[in-house]
Copies of this chain bind each other. A is one copy, B any other.
């Protein structure tokens, strides 16, 4: 219950909301007949017709004659116009960065990778990225519009202005990434910068292993352990955007290891890549991935890691009562090996939150972070399609 906001619903807001609902559906589920949209919205035929006409005039959707040969007059199909409205998705990863144009509907229109240059400042990286962005945008269709920029960083990010407090694996501290991107790309477009684990959770929720669910905990990462928590269908960002720092849940303070965060016994020290590497007796990240793929279910070398993974999952299940726990990154492979140990620990936790709970590995690959950055950037368009589009056209022209 929000006790302070009291927004009056006006005619204009209602229209905005209906346009947003239609466009969101097409964005997530793809082409759909007008009669399906009528059934789904509860709006009448003519209203759906008028709304889709507005979206089509704005260039956000496209109507197509159906090919069907069924009985009766076939309903017109409506599809998202992915090549007309797109976002720029930037994934600053630990190994490399990537830049992609992702169209409405989720199609990847163009994509390029950038290798990191040792010692490079964030500004230099974005300056290199700018040349890539320019070359990608040059390939975009005539009359198409960029409606926002989504950026993923493996670090702690303030949502309000995209300040990266710390990204340990990039060596970044207090980097004002939002303003660097705006300056270097010379853009006034909205820029949404978020933590990679949060964005992976958004992507798995929109198009992956957690599709259609409302309450999800996603555990991802490799060196670090990140989390993304979906509550009532939306990412739990918390007050500043820092929600989901599950890797620094202290779980073994008595005799546990020091964490790079300065605390002792964080979950990350028990299940992170270093712990897995030591358990397997291997040296590099790629050896970890290979060993996990080779390991058989119940591999005794990973019993202890599995126990800690289960303990932490049980904590999150008791706190959040999700429908699903999704394991991404290295944890997708790890979970396949230690699923029994995890189940055993869950069996020791409260019974009720286990009702109907499913645990599964992520469905999307490493690109999920980039997809999540795109989904995050699409949010404003889906909340107010025509208004946001008009604002972006103005900003691009300015």
Please report A residues at the B interface, Cβ cutoff 8 Å. Answer: 1-11, 13-14, 17-18, 21-22, 24-25, 28-29, 40-43, 47, 156, 158, 165-166, 202, 205-206, 211-212, 214-215, 227, 229, 231-246, 248-256, 261-264, 311, 314-316, 318-323, 348-353, 355-357, 375, 379, 382
Contact = CB atoms under 8 A, between A and B. Distances in A.
Given A6-B25, A14-B9, A231-B231, A1 B321 contact: no
Contacts of A10: 14, 42-43
A348 B262 contact: yes
Contact of A1 (B40, B205, B355): B205
A353 B245 contact: yes
B241 A321 contact: yes
A38 B43 CA distance: 29
Which one of A13, A22, A249, A379 has the greatest number of beta carbons of chain B within 10 Å?
A249
Nearest to A323: B239
A11 to B, nearest CB: 8
Given A7-B41, A233-B3, A254-B252, A320 B263 contact: no
Contacts of A229: 319
A242 B43 contact: no
26 contacts: A1-B382, A3-B29, A3-B205, A9-B9, A9-B21, A10-B14, A11-B14, A156-B350, A158-B355, A165-B351, A165-B352, A215-B238, A237-B321, A239-B322, A243-B319, A243-B320, A245-B318, A245-B321, A248-B349, A249-B318, A249-B319, A250-B314, A253-B311, A254-B254, A263-B314, A263-B348
A8 B41 contact: yes
A32 to B, nearest CB: 10
A169 to B, nearest CB: 15
Which one of A236, A241, A356 has the greatest number of beta carbons of chain B within 10 Å?
A236
Given A320-B236, A321-B239, A8 B21 contact: yes
Which 5 A-B pairs give the minimum distances between C-beta atoms? A238-B321, A8-B41, A2-B233, A8-B43, A245-B318
Nearest to A48: B8
Contacts of A158: 352, 355
Nearest to A11: B14
A243 B215 CA distance: 10
B8 A319 contact: no
Contacts of A253: 251-252, 311
A194 to B, nearest CB: 13
B3 A211 contact: yes
A170 to B, nearest CB: 16
